[in-house]
Chains A and B, each alone.
Chain A
């Protein structure tokens, strides 16, 4: 079955370390997105990519980096510059005009800084 796979489901990081969250999709979707979810704040857009080798900053890109070398993959790196990285991270993708179909979401990665 097609879908979005995020790994790992839980991730622990020491302060000062970079960590990379994986997002893979086999839906043949062109666009991919990373959102951060904090309690009571909904989902906030970190980065998005509409085509391979191109990506744009979202509303809260500081302290994060991404790459889009393959259509299927959109990894997110949380750098040591991110002041408060503990959160639930959701990857999504969309087909064609997302106004028509919305986004498809992965099951998320919970990152905890220890």
Chain B
């Protein structure tokens, strides 16, 4: 079945530390991949997306993601986390033309000072 998996439900990092959020997908080809961020009680904001080309994608707010075909992964990274990055992060994918956006379960990021 086509799916998106985020293995970590919660992650806590210290302010200023680096961050990596994991995302894996299950699909026979390369899907269109997205990372969204959601602040509490708010909608989702697109951080970045990938389909082809350079496997390291830059996004907004200093985030980047790396696509690894061999691992079916699209992990989100940030070199130095700020307290304002505390939020829930969703990895999502569109597997085929005409298909809808499929979401992972989300990872809640907590930032400690």
Contact = CB atoms under 8 A, between A and B. Distances in A.
Interface of A: 4, 6, 33, 35, 40-45, 48, 58, 88, 90, 92, 97-99, 102-103, 105-108, 110
B25 interface: no
Contact of B44 (A41, A90, A110): A90
B87 interface: no
Given A42-B105, A102-B101, A90 B90 contact: no
B34 interface: yes
Contacts of A90: 43-44
B9 A42 contact: no
A49 B86 CA distance: 33
Interface in B2-58: 4, 6, 9, 32, 34, 36, 41-46, 49, 51
Given A33-B100, A102-B46, A42 B106 contact: yes
Contacts of B101: 33, 45, 92, 98, 102-103
Interface residues of B, number: 24
A58 B42 contact: no
Interface of B: 4, 6, 9, 32, 34, 36, 41-46, 49, 51, 90, 92, 94, 97, 100-101, 103-106
B90 A42 contact: yes
B42 A108 contact: yes
Nearest to A108: B43
A108 B43 CA distance: 6
Contacts of B92: 102
